[in-house]
Each structure stands twice: as structure tokens, then as C-alpha cells.
Amino acid sequence: MAIFTGAGVAIVTPFNEDESINYDRLDELIDYHCSHGTDSIIICGTTGESATMTEKEHIECVKFTIDRVKGRLPVVAGTGSNCTRTAVEMSKEAADYGADGLLLVTPYYNKATQAGLIAHYTAVAKEAKAPIIMYSVASRTGCNIEPATVAELVKDVENIVGVKEASGNISQVAKIMELTDGNIDLYSGNDDQIVPLLSLGAKGVISVLSNVAPKETHDICERFFQGDIAGSRALQLRALPLVEQLFCEVNPIPVKRAVTLMGMDCGPLRMPLTQITEEHEKALIKAMEDFGIPLA
């Protein structure tokens, strides 16, 4: 059984003006997603600015989210690191605390070989007793998980169950599904490719778009699962202009501003990320209004 099916939100992390985590606002965001159609909460991923969190902040944020969700939705904790020891320790702690799943990005900067990736993911899976979704996003990490590597890990390691595929390479995704005979929990990592990946057998999406349009992102998946392919496709295409603006600058700069524009002030970004430009903000506002998202 998959950790979740449908649209999981790669949730933003709200900060206070001093850049400490704003847990009151995070609590509000959690309740918002639990009541607006989101199918899972993915905490401390790229969109959550995990790269600028201390390990203490990281695991406290995971624990807070699990406590506040209270089983209403599955919680997937981002626990990846470019240091295998760190990934092991964070993954063990998140699993022990009750995370429904773990999302592990490929080690960044190190640029591991495929053998290194196998060793890395196997080491984490051996210690952390929770289902693991590998996260392939070479545009950020400089390290691609090749389809044969994905297939080997899913076949040989019991609790490695899935992959979040953000390569943008549909041929690579198809090869993964071929080599695994479809026996893998595949999630789209790109909001503009939800339907294409669902057509290849994906279980859903780990989504930035869900931060501002949770019901619509859920519906893209749900309509597809119910056989309304035309309806799913229509929603996907209608969302494309908004998705474009959510990535007009590096994620999560635009989406964090978008959530604030909806009336849920998420505070500043942590450097080296900086605020969205005025030009891009205007285009983002127009895309949100055109999509029917109410602004504060």
C-alpha cells in the first residue's frame, strides 16, 4: 500500500521576522491543508527551506507537524542530506517519532556514483524503519538516480518503496516503470507533469502548487483515478500559467509569497534566498487571480 495517493503538499515553512520558525502559522497551514483536500503533508523538503535549517530545527519541525496532524493525513518527512550519517540519524529520529514515510533527496554536491547512491540509500533504509521515497532532482543536486539504480533499490531493499521524479525526463520515468514492472510508488515532482506521470502509473504528486490550490491539485489526481482523463487533463492545462509563475524564480521564493498573498503571512525567506522581484510578483498575482485564488 502506498504511503499516500493523490496530491501531497510540499509545504512551506513560515518564519518569524527574526527567521525563527513560526509554529503558530505552521499550525494554521497544517489545519488549512487538512481541511482543503490535501492528501499528504511533506514537511522539511526543498519548498520548506530545509537546506537552511539546523538539524535541531529540522527534527523539531517534523515532530511538531506529526503531533499537530494527529493522523488526519499521512506525514512524509524530508530527511535527506549529502552526509549519509546525518541522513541516517535524521531518518531514524523521524521514523521513531511516527512519520508515515521519509523523503530522501539524492546527496547534493558530492555527486555520488550510482554505486554510491545504492550504498547511501541502503544504509539509511537499514536504520530507519519507515517507508522511503527517493527524490531524484538532478537540476538541484547534480546527481541523477538512473532507472536501473531505482529498480535495484526498490527490488532489493524492502522499505525503499518509491521515487519522487523531478528530472522532467518522461523517457526516464517510463524506463523506471518498465524496469520495476510498475511495482513502485511513483510521484511526480513537477506540477506541470502530473497527468503525464499518472498515465505511466504514478500514485500522485508531491506538489508546490498544492500550497495555493490544494483542492484543484487533488482533483487533477482524483479525476484521473476515477477515469475522467479529459477532466484531469483540463485541470492540468488550466493550472499551467499559475505553475509557470510559481517557478518564475527559484522555488520556494514565489510560492512563499503566494501563500502570504492569500492572507497566511509566511514571513521572510532565509538567505541566500531573497524576496521575489516586483515584476515577478505582479505576474504571480495575475496568475493567481486568473486561476480564481482569493487574495487577502
Mean pLDDT of 66-92: 98
Q: For the segment 277-292, what is each residue's pLDDT rounded down to a tens digit?
A: 999 999 999 999 999 9
Annotation marks residue 135 as catalytic? yes
What cell was used for 286?
495575475
Q: For the segment 182-210, what is each residue's pLDDT rounded down to a tens digit?
A: 999 999 999 999 999 999 999 999 999 99
Cβ contact 15:268 at 8 Å: yes
**109 pLDDT more than 90:** yes
CA distance readout (Å), 256 to 13, 46, 54, 210, 259: 8, 12, 20, 12, 5
Structure confidence at residue 31 (pLDDT): 98
Q: Which long-range contacts (CB under 8 A, 24 or more apart) does 157-161 make?
A: 157/121, 157/122, 157/125, 158/125, 159/125, 159/128, 159/129, 159/130, 159/131, 159/132, 160/121, 160/125, 160/132, 160/134, 161/2, 161/3, 161/101, 161/131, 161/132, 161/133, 161/185
User: Angle at Cα 126 formed by Cα 188 and Cα 113, nearest 5°?
Assistant: 60
Summary mean pLDDT of the chain: 97
Annotation marks residue 97 as catalytic? no
Query: Which among 135, 187, 203, 256 is annotated as catalytic?
Result: 135
Mean pLDDT of 214-234: 98
On whether the pTM is more than 0.95, the answer is: yes
**77 pLDDT more than 90:** yes
Q: Helix 278-291 crosses helix 253-261 at what angle (to 10 degrees)?
A: 60
- In three-state secondary structure terms, 70 is coil
**1 pLDDT more than 90:** no
Mean pLDDT of 220-235: 98
Q: For the segment 244-266, what is each residue's pLDDT rounded down to a tens digit?
A: 999 999 999 999 999 999 999 99
What cell was used for 48?
520548506
Structure confidence at residue 120 (pLDDT): 98
Counting residues of the chain whose pLDDT is more than 90, the rounded percentage is 100
Q: For the segment 5-48, what is each residue's pLDDT rounded down to a tens digit?
A: 999 999 999 999 999 999 999 999 999 999 999 999 999 999 99
Q: For the segment 46-62, what is each residue's pLDDT rounded down to a tens digit?
A: 999 999 999 999 999 99
